[in-house]
Amino acid sequence: MSNENQNPIYSSRWNGAQRRIGITGGIASGKSSVGAFLKENKGIPLLDADIYAHEALEPNQIATTAVIKRYGQKVTDQIQDQPPALNRSLLGKIIFSSCKERLWLEELIHPIVEKRFQKELANKKNLSKVALIIPLLFEAELTSLCSEIWVVKCNLNQQYERLFKRDGLNKIEAKQRIEAQWPLEKKLCLADVVIDNSGGFREWEDQINSLF
């Protein structure tokens, strides 16, 4: 058994009556597709960490001010008579090329995202099921929000292909983003359910149907 499996931080789960499905996996593995399927076909409300993180870096937000203070105007798009807005592409180039800067931003954003999850879960406490997409579920130590954890997997070549097509990244940029997260194999060891998205188009739907 790995050290992570023995560590209560990673093995802890929500034990209330509500079924909370945590969806994670590697970048571009298909987490959003799985979440959308649960919402559209199973009627399960979907909470998305990426949306909360994006909102945390909108103009006039505390985190945005901190980012601008650290990096200055080189990461902003200044529009006349408008509060400074972050240029997320330029910020990404800084964050993913430096482990130190990436960790700084994560330490800034993770508590904000967790607080938002707690708020949304409190608002939905009377629902029987809810799904949470959290790409950095293990890295941010948020497993206690979930009663079960689904790790969506695909192979490394598929991750690269999807990042090239979806985000327009070059190979170096794609490699930086893949390596910024835990290795997929490490996440698979901590999964309660593994959703295999390495096969044909949406073959994983039958697997999810069997879980309900």
pLDDT of residue 50: 96
Residue whose token pair is 């997320």:
88
Pick the CATH number of 18-45+124-212 from 3.40.1190.10, 3.40.50.12280, 3.40.50.300, 3.40.50.1010: 3.40.50.300
Give tens-digit pLDDT for 147-201.
999 999 999 999 999 999 998 999 999 999 999 999 999 999 999 999 999 987 7
Percent pLDDT > 90 in the chain is 84
Whether this model's pTM surpasses 0.85: yes
pLDDT of residue 2: 43
Tokens matching residue 145: 């929000």
State how beta strands 46-48 and 129-133 pair. Answer: parallel
CATH 3.40.50.300 in the chain is located at 18-45+124-212
